[in-house]
A = this chain, B = another copy of it.
Amino acid sequence: MHFIQKTFRLKSFKRGFHLITKDIKNEIPELSNVSIGILHVFLHHTTASLTINENTDPTVREDFESHMNIMIPENAAYYKHQSEEPDNMPGHIKSSVMGVNLTIPVTNGKLNLGTWQGVYLCEHRNRAMTRKITLTLIGQ
């Protein structure tokens, strides 16, 4: 039985959608000891998020940014939370639509993602900040 937990900070990313699969794997080499399990990935923030999507073509990640900015716009007339910058309130909503927690199967010592799947850090703020992640590996 393995219960392993690691907390780390990503480098700061600019606003947009960014692949972080390698950053996650690098932080938890103990994956290689687990034959069956799950890796829980948790982001400790409310204006960024995590998702799993296409891991190759950068235009997919650019289109995510374009579409999310239309689906959840800045400066909507009905926003009451105006005390912070215009990217703050839509950043909160985007974060909940994408989510801040993922769980990925672990099989034979590896993250068991699909061929085209990668983990994205979705940075919804203009000013780059480092973002904190906690990984919890549960397996045998």
Q: How far is the CB of A8 from chain B (nearest CB, A)?
A: 13
Interface size class of A (residues with CB under 8 A): 35 or more
A38 on the interface (CB 8 Å rule)?
yes
Q: A37-B3, A46-B53 are in contact. Are A96 and B98 (CB under 8 A)?
A: yes
> Please, how many angstroms separate the alpha-carbon atoms of A96 and B60 in the complex?
12
Contact mask for chain A residues 1-37; partner B; CB cutoff 8 A; 1 contact, 0 none: 1011101000000000000000000000000000011
Partner of A52, one of B46, B57, B67: B46
B-contacting residues, A17-73, CB 8 Å: 36-38, 40, 42-46, 51-54, 57, 59-60, 62-64, 66-68, 70-72
A128 on the interface (CB 8 Å rule)?
no
Contact (Cβ within 8 A) A136 B63 = no
Give A90's nearest chain B residue, CB to CB: B67
Contact (Cβ within 8 A) B100 A97 = no
Contact (Cβ within 8 A) B60 A81 = yes
Contact mask for chain A residues 100-140; partner B; CB cutoff 8 A; 1 contact, 0 none: 11111101000011111100100000000000101010111
Beyond A45-B117, A51-B96, 8 additional pairs, beta carbon < 8 A: A44-B115, A46-B52, A46-B54, A67-B72, A68-B93, A100-B117, A105-B136, A107-B134
